[in-house]
Amino acid sequence: MGIKWDEFFITGDPLILGSQIAILLTMIGAVAGITYLKKWKYLWTEWLTTVDHKKIGIMYIISAVLMFFRGGMDGLLMKAQTSRPEMEFLNSQHYNEIFTTHGVIMILFMAMPFLIGLMNVVIPLQIGARDVAFPQLNALSFWLFFSGAMLFNISFVIGGSPDAGWTSYFPLAGKEFSPGIGNNYYAVALQIAGIGTLMTGINFIVTILKMRTKGMTLMKMPMFTWTTFVTSILIVAAFPIFTVALALMTFDRLYGTHFFTVSGGGMDMLWANLFWLWGHPEVYIVALPAFGIFSEVIATFSRKSLFGYKSMVFSILGIALLSMVVWVHHFYTMGSGPAVNSFFSITTMAIAIPTGVKMFNWLFTMRKGRIKITSAMLWALAFVPCFVIGGVTGVMLAMGAADYQYHNTLFLVAHFHYVLIPGVVFAVFAGLYYWWPKMFGFMLNEKLGKWHFWLFVIGFNVTFMPMFFLGLNGAVRRAYTYSAESGFAPLFMLSAIGSIVLAAGFAVFCYNIYWSIRYADRNISSDPWDARTLEWSTASPVQFYNFAKLPEVKSLDPFWHMKKKNEGLTLHDSEIEEIHMPSNSWLPIYMGVIFGIAGFFLVFEWHIAAAVAGIGIFAGLIIRSFDYNEGFHVSKEEIHRIENAWRKTEGEVHDHVS
Amino acid sequence: MEHHQSKSFPISHVIGFVVSLVLTFAAAGIALKTNLSFKVIMWIIGSLAVIQAGMQLFMFMHLREGEHGKTNLINMIYAVFMVIVIVVGSIWVLTSGHASH
Ligand code: HEM
Ligand SMILES: [Cu+2]
């Protein structure tokens, strides 16, 4: 197989050597720590083999926070490199690798799992179900995502990172122009993670259609459930396109086919076309659940039900539909001609209409509400103006003719960070502060939360606002340096300073998690925000079977009405029945590991080894086919004991209703 | 929750699988081993693809088990929409303007 061992580990760069040592030490430290604390068994039975949607959600969120750290480091490195003209901190190759991994990690391994994690924790609770429709598949989704993410992340120390941008356009990404193995990581790791995401989409569609509790019609679903539902449909619509495109890319790179190459009859633009057929819906896949989170947070802290519920639902559906027919706006300049460019300009601008409707709905929800300024609410408030800046610059970019000016400049980079950071990052922070007590039974510190908020939001604006002007002045994206004569230096410097403030905000966030785990008050009610939806009607942290008695829904904001009318809050002994729950399984994590190994061999083009590992994948599938484990039953006594523990005083939950 | 379906041998799946293979190899053979003109080849393999897609719908997708009429209708509309967007859309985008030259 001709393995070049000397090229296996990346050597010769002090930054990377430092990371290699750090990774090694962290791994040794983790293994030693777990062994010392005798936590292996706990880890295995409570987390690694779990099929509980809440724990899976938490694992998604932990991974996402780690990935945010990694992607954020990449961002800081880039900002450091461009802080002065002609800096010699990163060379051009290193810069290429870093913006590529930054883009991929932030979107696919930070934004997606963060939102999917919150969906996992919250959705079954919001619809009054005991788990998702396919719990074990859900665990498999997580482990495939995790496997893909880890495979992608080791690229910078083993074998070399992909360096053709997060879009990996051909011909650059092809074997001809990128002969190293770096871009194989892109093709293989994203494929593995993508399978996981696709299964999540299917799982949540079925869950939301089939598992809603009695009385919860589609038009009585909470807004986060609605957005998750539509996002899942978009996942099922769009991800297969990416799967196919990546498979073709893999064939081109590994087996010498010519789907996208310039020579041999391939068509390089076909890649761009397929990529964005997936890529544009993808940005709505991450934006829609975020909109759902803001809807929940704004309604709760304005203490009113969401304004214009129906128009909200229809605008989500409208956005989803339109998002499938706008993809060409990412490559107007490839020259598809005036008819194509005009069509896609119009569809793109049309998206502003339903989005505008949502904006006004949020504003009207707040109007005359008794607004409580909590950390979660602050993120939602900051989202509105920041996202509008992102949206308005989006409409500017949408115009095909004008895009010839903006295309590939930092104006675009500023635009999509103004959409993705308020639209996704603010949302997951809001969601985390909001649902944290539900997940763990204590709150994040509000004071630190406000420090986190202000540093992050100010830092974000100072980082990315200058980029709009740099872009209009002609600074191109993906360029590792610029000359002093360009006059770009002051704005680049300002932007770099902003990124330090932003990083300080993130540091406070991490410190807040640490502080709250150590010191936060454990003695809080199960409904600390006086919220409106069903997840708050059960214990915090939620008992593994979610609801002793499945709630019955009569209106929107069901829990709010249950509290007002004092209905359905108590549990009589006679109502307790045995509960059927799914068993843990080692198969999902096994599949994650074996997919990771097979993928790793494939990246290095060790085909025989990959085929052998592939047998392991089939073995897993076969074992699963003959797996007749029907789960277990929770006895009445146990339910009784668990319910008594948190329902100490009857109706404690409606403390705060006014 | 559990209801086991009848465990008879899935004969239609096997037939569907074999026919799919035949159609795929036929397409590959026509594309690689014949001297027809480019246009003719594209039309033939395009038609084979459509036939295969239709066949799979019947053999694999439970289209004939008509209990869920409304669901099927929604699924079909969805599928047609996706095909138009992806296939027709791609062809339009990739063949108009100077992208085609
Ligand atoms: C947290 C602070 C962040 C900083 C400091 C940052 C900074 C940057 C910089 C400097 C670039 C490259 C500009 C260039 O082309 O030279 C970039 C590109 C990019 N960023 Fe960020 N970013 C941040 C967060 C995010 C987030 C949260 C996302 C997505 C959810 C994201 C997605 C992207 C993408 C997709 C690219 C394009 C990569 C490419 O050109 O292939 N970034 N970012
Ligand atoms: Cu787009």
Other Cβ atoms within 10 Å of A453 Cβ, number? 24
**Helix (H, G, I), strand (E, B), or coil: what is residue A633?**
strand
CA distance A313 to A230: 10
Specify the pLDDT at position A321.
95
Cβ neighbours of residue A207 closer than 8 Å, sequence gap 6 or more: A123, A124, A127, A129, A132, A133
* A340: chain B residues, CB-CB within 8 Å: 92-93, 96-97
Q: Is A269 on the interface with B (CB under 8 A)?
A: yes
CA distance A425 to A421: 5
Residue type, A192: I
Chain A interface disruption, residue of B93, B95, B96, B98, most A CBs within 10 A = B93
Taking an 8 Å cut-off on Cβ atoms, the answer to whether B92 and A340 are in contact is yes
Helix A53-81 / helix A489-519 crossing angle, nearest 10 deg? 150
List the end-to-end C-alpha distance of chain A, in Å, as a whole number. 73
> Which helix H or strand E contains A579, and what residues bound it?
strand A579-581
Specify the pLDDT at position A349.
94
Residue of A324, A532, A516, A331 whose CA lies nearest to A439: A516
**What b/e string do you get for B58-78 counting C-beta neighbours within 10 Å, with b at 16 or more?**
ebeeeeeeeeeeeebeeeeee
Q: What angle do CA A341, A346, A351 make, to 5 degrees?
A: 130
Nearest CA to ligand 1 atom 6: A75
Q: Provide the shortest C-alpha distance from residue B87 to chain A (in Å).
A: 10
Residue of A nearest to B2 (CA): A630
* A339: chain B residues, CB-CB within 8 Å: 96-97
Q: What angle do CA A555, A560, A566 make, to 5 degrees?
A: 95
CA distance A316 to A312: 6
Shared domain for B28 and B60, answered yes or no, is yes
CA distance A213 to A126: 9
Q: Is B15 on the interface with A (CB under 8 A)?
A: no
* A334: chain B residues, CB-CB within 8 Å: 99
Structure token digits, residue A510: 């991490």
A21-30, A59-68, A201-210, A400-409, range with the lowest pLDDT = A21-30
Q: Is the CB of A499 under 6 A from ligand 1?
A: yes
> Which helix H or strand E contains A581, and what residues bound it?
strand A579-581
Nearest CA to ligand 1 atom 37: A103
Residue of A634, A457, A532 whose CA lies nearest to A304: A532
- For the whole model, what pTM was predicted? 0.93
CA distance B40 to B27: 12
- Of B6 and A348, the structure prediction assigns the larger pLDDT to A348
Chain length of chain A: 658
Q: What would the pLDDT profile of A413-441 be if each residue is shown by its tens digit?
A: 999 999 999 999 999 999 999 999 999 99
Specify the pLDDT at position B57.
81
Shared domain for B60 and B70, answered yes or no, is no
DSSP result, A262-320? SSTT--HHHHHHHHHHHHHHHHHHHHHHHHHHHHHHHHHHHTSPPTTHHHHHHHHHHHH
Shared domain for B82 and B101, answered yes or no, is yes
Specify the pLDDT at position A32.
87
pLDDT greater than 50 at residue A613: yes
Specify the pLDDT at position A239.
96
Whether the CB-CB separation of A85 and A488 falls below 8 Å is answered with yes
Q: What would the pLDDT profile of B65-95 be if each residue is shown by its tens digit?
A: 666 678 888 888 898 899 999 999 999 999 8
Whether the CB-CB separation of A418 and A285 falls below 8 Å is answered with no
Q: Provide the shortest C-alpha distance from residue B97 to chain A (in Å).
A: 4
Q: Return the residue matching tokens 């036939």.
A: B51
Residue of B nearest to A580 (CA): B1
Specify the pLDDT at position A654.
42
Cβ neighbours of residue A475 closer than 8 Å, sequence gap 6 or more: A409, A410, A467, A482, A486, A488, A492
Taking an 8 Å cut-off on Cβ atoms, the answer to whether A336 and B96 are in contact is yes
Q: Is B87 on the interface with A (CB under 8 A)?
A: no
Q: Provide the shortest C-alpha distance from residue B92 to chain A (in Å).
A: 8
Q: What would the pLDDT profile of A488-540 be if each residue is shown by its tens digit?
A: 999 999 999 999 999 999 999 999 999 999 999 888 888 999 999 999 999 98
Chain length of chain B: 101
Q: How far is CA A597 from the centre of its chain?
A: 24
- The number of the ligand nearest the C-alpha atom of A351 reads 2
Shared domain for B75 and B93, answered yes or no, is yes
**What b/e string do you get for A617-637 counting C-beta neighbours within 10 Å, with b at 16 or more?**
eeebeeebeeeeeeeeebeee
pLDDT greater than 60 at residue A635: yes
Specify the pLDDT at position A657.
38
Cβ neighbours of residue A211 closer than 8 Å, sequence gap 6 or more: A124, A127, A129, A132, A133
* A328: chain B residues, CB-CB within 8 Å: 93
CA distance A357 to A173: 40
Q: What would the pLDDT profile of A15-65 be if each residue is shown by its tens digit?
A: 777 777 877 888 888 888 888 888 889 899 999 999 999 999 999 999 999
Q: What would the pLDDT profile of A304-347 be if each residue is shown by its tens digit?
A: 999 999 999 999 999 999 999 999 999 999 888 889 999 999 99
Structure token digits, residue A305: 């039900």
Shared domain for B57 and B73, answered yes or no, is no
Q: Provide the shortest C-alpha distance from residue B16 to chain A (in Å).
A: 21
pLDDT greater than 70 at residue A66: yes
Shared domain for B50 and B29, answered yes or no, is yes
Q: Is the CB of A90 under 6 A from ligand 1?
A: no
DSSP result, A457-507? HHHHHHHHHHHHHHHHTTPBTT-S---GGGS-HHHHHHHHHHHHHHHHHHH
Nearest CA to ligand 1 atom 1: A72
Shortest CB distance from A335 goes to which of B81, B90, B99?
A: B99
φ, ψ at A633 (rounded to 5°): -110, 135
Shared domain for B8 and B41, answered yes or no, is yes
Taking an 8 Å cut-off on Cβ atoms, the answer to whether B93 and A241 are in contact is no
Specify the pLDDT at position A34.
83
Structure token digits, residue A42: 């706990």
Q: Provide the shortest C-alpha distance from residue A339 to chain B (in Å).
A: 8
Q: Return the residue matching tokens 């403390």.
A: A655
Q: What would the pLDDT profile of A103-137 be if each residue is shown by its tens digit?
A: 999 999 999 999 999 999 999 999 999 999 999 99
Residue of B nearest to A582 (CA): B1
pLDDT greater than 80 at residue B18: yes
Q: Best mutation site among A169, A275, A383, A417 for ligand 1, i.e. most ligand atoms within 8 A of its Cβ?
A: A417
Q: Using the atom order of ligand 1, give the atom closest to the CA of residue A424.
A: 30
- The number of the ligand nearest the C-alpha atom of A347 reads 2
φ, ψ at A497 (rounded to 5°): -65, -40
Number of domains in chain B: 2
Shortest CB distance from A328 goes to which of B2, B82, B93?
A: B93
Confidence of residue A656 (pLDDT cuts 50, 70, 90): very low
Structure token digits, residue A95: 């810069």
Shared domain for B1 and B48, answered yes or no, is yes
Question: Strand pairing partners for A9?
Answer: A158
Confidence of residue B98 (pLDDT cuts 50, 70, 90): low
Q: Is B32 on the interface with A (CB under 8 A)?
A: no
CA distance A363 to A308: 11
> Which helix H or strand E contains A602, and what residues bound it?
helix A587-603
Structure token digits, residue A16: 């990377």
Q: Is A274 on the interface with B (CB under 8 A)?
A: yes
Taking an 8 Å cut-off on Cβ atoms, the answer to whether B99 and A274 are in contact is no
CA distance A144 to A593: 8
Shared domain for B19 and B50, answered yes or no, is yes
Question: Strand pairing partners for A633?
Answer: A580
Taking an 8 Å cut-off on Cβ atoms, the answer to whether A237 and B93 are in contact is no
Residue % of chain A over a pLDDT of 90? 79
Specify the pLDDT at position B3.
44
Q: Is B90 on the interface with A (CB under 8 A)?
A: yes
Report the pLDDT averaged over residues B5-26.
84
Mean pLDDT in chain A? Answer: 92
Residue of A316, A326, A318, A330 whose CA lies nearest to A348: A326
pLDDT greater than 60 at residue B25: yes
Q: Is the CB of A478 under 6 A from ligand 1?
A: yes
- Of A280 and B61, the structure prediction assigns the larger pLDDT to A280
Q: Is the CB of A500 under 6 A from ligand 1?
A: no
Shortest CB distance from B96 goes to which of A270, A277, A340?
A: A340
- Of A177 and A647, the structure prediction assigns the larger pLDDT to A177
Q: Is A1 on the interface with B (CB under 8 A)?
A: no
Q: Is the CB of A400 under 6 A from ligand 1?
A: no
Cβ neighbours of residue A285 closer than 8 Å, sequence gap 6 or more: A112, A231, A234, A235, A238
Specify the pLDDT at position A540.
87
Confidence of residue A185 (pLDDT cuts 50, 70, 90): very high
Shared domain for B60 and B78, answered yes or no, is no
Shared domain for B38 and B14, answered yes or no, is yes
Q: Is A396 on the interface with B (CB under 8 A)?
A: no
CA A279 to ligand 2 centroid distance, Å: 7
Specify the pLDDT at position B1.
37
Taking an 8 Å cut-off on Cβ atoms, the answer to whether B94 and A339 are in contact is no
Whether the CB-CB separation of B27 and B48 falls below 8 Å is answered with yes
Structural domain for B42, as ranges: 1-64
Confidence of residue A1 (pLDDT cuts 50, 70, 90): very low
CA distance A22 to A34: 18
Shortest CB distance from B99 goes to which of A277, A325, A336?
A: A336
How far is the CA of A652 from the CAs of A438, A520, A528, in angstroms?
16, 21, 11
pLDDT greater than 70 at residue B41: yes
Confidence of residue B101 (pLDDT cuts 50, 70, 90): low
Shared domain for B59 and B10, answered yes or no, is yes
